Amino acid sequence: MVRAGTIGEDDRLELIDGRIVAMSPEGPTHAGTIDLCAEALRKIFGADYTVRVQHPLAVDPDDEPEPDIAVVPGGPRDHLADHPHDAVLVVEVAESSLAYDRGRKLRMYASCGVPEYWVVNIPERCVEVYRDPQHNGYAHCHRYEPGQSIQLASFSDVSLAVSEFLK
């Protein structure tokens, strides 16, 4: 649709359940938190992974969300022809979208097999970490607050202090 000119390249839209869904406008807290998260994750993941910010993730023919952050296998050049289809970690920063990120988005990422999904919950100042994807959700959820560290599922020897991106 972008190539055909139906929608603009900078329009804030994503494909969910085969429908085009408008995304909420970003406030400064939301945008800054995304930047802090991406910066912290880039320090952890090496050249074998790319930390993508608000780019499509083609998880299913009917679902092409644009997560706030997706850590995908391969370098940027590996994704020049096609959007990546899987991720080792997806992060959604939630301010006004908390119910949506805990609901439809969580179920979509779980059903597509994303092994680890984080909701950075700005109103409650915490990070909800979901692991062990099932068909319609995740088997495990743990809440982390500033002062605590999250040990990444895909890299058991690596942890990330919540205070690096959530004050």
User: CA distances (Å), 136 to each of 94, 102, 115, 156, in order?
Assistant: 20, 12, 13, 25
- So where are the chain's domains? 25-164
**Model pTM?**
0.86
Specify the pLDDT at position 155: 84
Q: How many CA atoms lie within 13 A of 124 on its CB side?
A: 13
Compute the chain's Rg from CA coordinates.
15
CATH of 25-164, one of 3.40.50.920, 3.40.1390.10, 3.90.1570.10, 3.40.309.10: 3.90.1570.10
- Condensed to tens digits (0 to 9), the pLDDT of residues 105-155 reads 999 999 999 999 999 999 999 999 999 999 889 999 999 999 999 999 888
